[in-house]
Structure 1
Amino acid sequence: MAPASHGLLGRIQRANDDAAHRFGPHTAEVEAFIVAAAQLTPWQWRQVLAVRRLVGSVSKEGAPDSARSIQAAIRTSDTRISEPIARAGEVLFDTLVKKSDDKQVAAWQAMIAIVMRSQLPALKFAVSYAPFAALIPLSSSDVLEPKTRRLIARLGDLTKEQFEMLGRRWRIEPAASRALLQAVAKNRHVKSEEAVAIAALSLIPHQLVGDPGWAAVRTAVHAGRILGAQDDLTPQEVAELWVPIEPVIPFASLSEVVEIPAGERVRAAVGSAIKTITRPPRTRAVAAPVTRAAAPYGPNHNEVAAFIKGVAELSPIQWLRVLDRRKLVSSVTREGAAEPAGVVRSILAMLEGTRDLDSYLRCRAFVAVERAGFALESRARLNLDQLRQVLTPFEPSIAFEELNGGGFAHRVASLAKTEWQRIAAAAPDANEEAVAPLVNAGIALIDFFGGRSDDEAVAAWHAVSALVHRHHLTPIKFAASYAPFASAIPVTNPRSLGAMVSRYVTAVGRLGPSQCAVLAQPWQMDDALSSVLSGAVADGSSRSGEEAAALNAMVTVPMRLAGSGGWAAVKTAAFGGRVMAVRNRLTAEQLTALWAPIQPAIPLASLSAPARARR
């Protein structure tokens, strides 16, 4: 038992050690910084950015990388970024995901400085961390020796002329310089130089910017270095090293202790006690709300998840009905080739081949394949140069001259993981937040698509794409993609529509040929009515009614009227759903005027509740 227990304890100890050093030797400080940065208020962030601009006015640091490029470097295992920094960066960007780019970059620079604190010169560290120093104090910042504290206090009292004196050029004798370097090497644990550097970068840019300001900062940091290594320097060496600072801050002044008269000390103590006694009780800190993980399928996660489950359970009879309705829809929308089978199969092959890649690279690969698939399907309208420009990420692996959409899908399916990594790296940048939900939905349907015909795969892909992007599509555009599945896998709750909207949707489903012909007639709405309707639907309250009407019309109208006439009738029917959904916000005259295009086909009076029969 003993060896086994010892082995288990050893593994536990090693796991604890790994966790304690996952961000390097300063893991605890890095973790504390990330937590504290996430809790900064907007006002505190403004302070951070203001100090960052001040530091930049003297430090001459180059323009930093954008947050997006930094995250891309982290995800692609850029050799410039060490493993601890990459791990910490992932946590930091996930924590600050809702912050602006400049806030994320400022926090990233400060976090890197903490990770590499033991390896960076004090001034280099301070340039990166100074913006946060006042709000997120560093460890050991409260244990500075008295002379360093007095030096920092004196820096805060200096005038512009005195800072200019600190910025003058100076030189130290080689012997004194060597003595200082040796003393600093023996006192690496002392943080006086860091503290003074941070203070100088926070104070001097208010008075002096550019090269003079930077020179003054370096002189102040030199003073902090001397104080940190003073114990290993002789008085003569200290005096010689302090020469550049002496005219502004005499070294002797840092040893002076100002005695406070006894009366003032008593008054201060009594005042402090009174404040403590009369201070109102502190309010209990409210725990920060738990941030929910983003839904894999985006804002419409529940509907997409229900579709993914339902589509796999459709019977053969239901599939025949779906395909029949898809043909009906395409007879009026003329969008049958909007996303052909070759494009869909290429996308599915990409999802299958990139199983081992992370989400960001998958999204980039998705964008590359989708663009390439569409380009090949529409190659008749593109010249070879335009085609090659779109297909550049694939060129080393796939020759395009003899390919069509279907051939491209077969070649995509044969690509290896290393080729996908290269393609993703060469692909145009992708908005992961927008693309990832559709990629995740496609991944969930990979096994389902494997055993389906091209028509079934395209129909299902159009439907799931429309669901993922539902609130980015107009109701009629959504209906054009989802109508084939609307009865098999409903996405509209009839109870949420209201009685009159439900009656209207039912009436749309019963339209005859003559009624469809009436709805197909051209009509216009005057500007005043258009403005009224726009104001009524501005909050999106009409969407469910318009969607329901469009979904019914997409299937009913093509059975009576095809082509452009059918499309016009569908649009008019969807318009009726919009008007009916906001009828309570319209006057009787406005409702009558807006209903005029639909009135001959579906009289407004027919949608009223039937009168109750007398007993």
Structure 2
Amino acid sequence: MAPASHGLLGRIQRANDDASHRFGPRTAEVEAFIVAAAQLTPWQWRQVLATKRLVASISKEGAGSSDSARSIQASIRSSERRISEPIARAGEVLFDTLVKRSEEKQVSAWQAMTALVMRSQLPALKFAVHYVPFAAFIPLAGSDVLDPRTLRFLDSLQALTREQLSALARRWRIEPGASRALLQAVAKNREAKSEEAVALAALALVPQLLTGDEGWSAVRTAVHGGRVLGAIGELTPAEVGELWAPLEAVIPLASLSEVETVPAGERVRTAVNNAINKITRPPRGRTAAPAAARPPAPYGPNHAEVAAFIKGAAELSPIQWLRVLDRRKLVASVTREGSAEPAGVVRSILATLEGTRDLDTYTRCRAFAAVERAGFAIESHGKVNLDQVRQMLAPFEPVIAFQALNGGGFAHRVASLDKAEWQRIAAAAPDANEEAVAPLVNAGTALIDFFGGRSDDEAVAAWHAVSALVQRHHLTPIKFAASYAPFASAIPVTNPRSLGAMVSRYVTAVGRLGAAQCAALARPWQLEDALSSVLSGAIADGSSRPGEEAAALAAVVTVPMRLAGSGGWAAVKTAAFGGRVIAARTRLTAEQLELLWKPIQPAVPLVSLNAPAKSKR
């Protein structure tokens, strides 16, 4: 039988080994760097380049290399291979990843990445010169496991003044014996990261206070201190004193001493015992702890869309607001499905949300529902009988007298109520469905400050839109569209890519309807019961709703510009029906689709929605 190394398992293992070392022994770090560099924000890139320029102002280690991105890539692809294989492979990936970045960014990342590939071979200071621009945003592996003495030294460095750094920049000399001892100690502690960490910290700090040779000398002295701390366990006290002399006046070695209440051996023994206990502990029962219930989203099932609307509404320009109000007037000229909340009711609701901010959610929901009912009663103008009005206004007695009040006066009185009065009103109000009302309360609260400086028309339009978004899953597509259409283009809530090509073509066609086409859609029509049942079954799972919504949103804006009044509303309903049918076409036979499309056919022929034929060359 063939050896394992020659079989399938051996080939797989060799392939895995090759993949894990394709960029050298630090492949994982290099891959992580490339991924992280691609995700840096513009602000982070500005910081990277600024740090690089600062380091170049003092460095004598080639931080300001003049190689261009083009010359580097040419060297990578050259057959002469002046660049090592791991660096060349990593460079290809890096430049492909940063292809849209500027040349300066590409070169900076290249220098940091090559230093990372050769991290084990480079002196700590030379490595730090190339990597420090990225150190704050892409931390190095091992940078979080420094010994306490080094951490204290780093903290002390950060606190140094310009004068203290100038003191570090003074010339100094170490006795040959101590120097040899340090080199031998460093050779025994090659894995120590103290020198590297200090070099990165010093290069980030010193150029901000010192420049030129003075700055470079201060950095080298600080790095020398990091080297001593990394090898301090292999040095005698006399050698440590001699080696630390250049820094003693600025950072006394005694200030870095660690006070250990527990001997190191005891701490190691305790850690090992804890690990053994954890490993040998009997397995726990397999009954999984019940997962913590996630709190409901503040704005309900459509939380993301509502949050996006709240943010977007505050950023609309005056021109966009004019368009919103114009579209609202257009929609109002035909719609019979819009919310009947007048400005007075909206202001009353907002005053309620403002006055109850400090109360619990349940109390706020009851107060909200009570004010909404009372506001509608006051604005009903005889549409509600007197007994119903009295029942709706009962929670507010005797705080507010309703004789001769209109919606605006009610809003002013509501705004004057204090916390105790709100608590009493909420207690007297009928119970409210907190699950349904709380998202409206939260959304309105988020918009209170925004509404404060807006006109009544803007406040009403925005409230209708946000309340429609909150209740989107409860509203019919056409009713949702009637409330949200004024904002549909400024703050879209429909993703065209999710509709499918045929539905998108239909929505586009609805947006281009002419007067004659709108008149054709406004003609009366009726479906047979059997055909209506087929369509109901096809849309039962709700998959056609996005298409119907998109068509309704397009129709309630387009149709009123061509046809007003009841005819316009009839055309809007037919256009929305077309969206429902075309979105459910895959669940219908060709004959059923043709019959259902009859009301729309004169305005938008079904054949016009097919994909255009490719031209023959």
Residues 235-258 of structure 1, C-alpha deviations (whole Å, 9 max, x = no match): xxxxxxxxxxxxxxxxxxxxxxxx
Residues 566-589 of structure 1, C-alpha deviations (whole Å, 9 max, x = no match): 000000000000010011111111
Match of 1:558 in 2: 560
Match of 1:391 in 2: 393
Residues 560-614 of structure 1, C-alpha deviations (whole Å, 9 max, x = no match): 0011100000000000000100111111111111111101100011000001111
**Matching residue's letter, 1:584:** T
Aligned partners of 2:421, 2:399: CA distance in 1, in Å?
8
Aligned partners of 1:382, 1:549: CA distance in 2, in Å?
35
Aligned partners of 2:613, 2:444: CA distance in 1, in Å?
50
Match of 2:39 in 1: none
Match of 1:608 in 2: 610
Match of 1:485 in 2: 487
Aligned partners of 1:291, 1:337: CA distance in 2, in Å?
35
Match of 1:597 in 2: 599
- From 308, 312, 318, the counterpart of 2:310: 308
How much does 1:289 deviate? 2.4
Aligned partners of 2:421, 2:532: CA distance in 1, in Å?
53
User: Residues 125-204 of structure 1: matches in 2 within 5 Å?
Assistant: none
Aligned partners of 2:386, 2:580: CA distance in 1, in Å?
45
1:460 aligns with 2:468: no
Match of 2:525 in 1: 523
How much does 1:380 deviate? 2.4
Aligned partners of 1:605, 1:568: CA distance in 2, in Å?
23
How much does 1:335 deviate? 5.7
How much does 1:390 deviate? 1.3
1:339 aligns with 2:341: yes
Match of 1:364 in 2: 366
How much does 1:491 deviate? 0.3
Say if 1:547 and 1:574, in contact at 8 Å, map to a contact too.
yes
- Residue 491 of structure 1 aligns to a residue in which SS? coil
1:430 aligns with 2:414: no
1:569 aligns with 2:553: no
- From 492, 495, 498, the counterpart of 2:497: 495
- From 444, 447, 466, the counterpart of 2:446: 444
Say if 2:502 and 2:610, in contact at 8 Å, map to a contact too.
yes
- From 410, 413, 423, the counterpart of 2:412: 410
Residues 471-527 of structure 1, C-alpha deviations (whole Å, 9 max, x = no match): 100000100000000000000000000000000000000000000000000011111
Match of 1:544 in 2: 546
How much does 1:385 deviate? 4.0
User: Residues 84-163 of structure 1: matches in 2 within 5 Å?
Assistant: none
Q: Which runs of 4+ in 1 moved over 6 A?
A: none
TM-score, normalised relative to structure 2 = 0.53
Match of 1:318 in 2: 320
Residues 341-377 of structure 1, C-alpha deviations (whole Å, 9 max, x = no match): 0000000001111111100000000011000000000
Aligned partners of 1:493, 1:382: CA distance in 2, in Å?
41
Aligned partners of 1:577, 1:394: CA distance in 2, in Å?
46
Aligned partners of 1:348, 1:548: CA distance in 2, in Å?
30
Say if 1:363 and 1:439, in contact at 8 Å, map to a contact too.
yes
How much does 1:469 deviate? 0.3
Aligned partners of 2:572, 2:512: CA distance in 1, in Å?
13
Aligned partners of 2:475, 2:385: CA distance in 1, in Å?
31
Structure 1 unpaired stretches of 5+: 1-280
- Residue 391 of structure 1 aligns to a residue in which SS? helix
- Residue 512 of structure 2 aligns to a residue in which SS? coil
**Matching residue's letter, 2:467:** S
User: Residues 243-392 of structure 1: matches in 2 within 5 Å?
Assistant: 284-334=286-336, 338-392=340-394
Aligned partners of 1:471, 1:357: CA distance in 2, in Å?
28
Say if 2:336 and 2:569, in contact at 8 Å, map to a contact too.
no
Say if 1:379 and 1:387, in contact at 8 Å, map to a contact too.
no
C-alpha root-mean-square deviation of aligned residues, in Å? 1.4
Aligned partners of 1:324, 1:593: CA distance in 2, in Å?
37
Aligned partners of 2:414, 2:286: CA distance in 1, in Å?
58
Structure 2 unpaired stretches of 5+: 1-282
How much does 1:382 deviate? 3.9
Residues 54-101 of structure 1, C-alpha deviations (whole Å, 9 max, x = no match): xxxxxxxxxxxxxxxxxxxxxxxxxxxxxxxxxxxxxxxxxxxxxxxx
Aligned partners of 1:500, 1:337: CA distance in 2, in Å?
31
Aligned partners of 2:384, 2:476: CA distance in 1, in Å?
29
Match of 2:421 in 1: 419
1:506 aligns with 2:508: yes
Match of 1:473 in 2: 475
**Matching residue's letter, 1:353:** G
Aligned partners of 1:400, 1:379: CA distance in 2, in Å?
13
How much does 1:531 deviate? 1.0
Say if 1:304 and 1:467, in contact at 8 Å, map to a contact too.
yes
Aligned partners of 1:569, 1:458: CA distance in 2, in Å?
26
How much does 1:388 deviate? 2.1
Aligned partners of 1:412, 1:401: CA distance in 2, in Å?
15
Aligned partners of 1:379, 1:492: CA distance in 2, in Å?
37
Match of 1:197 in 2: none
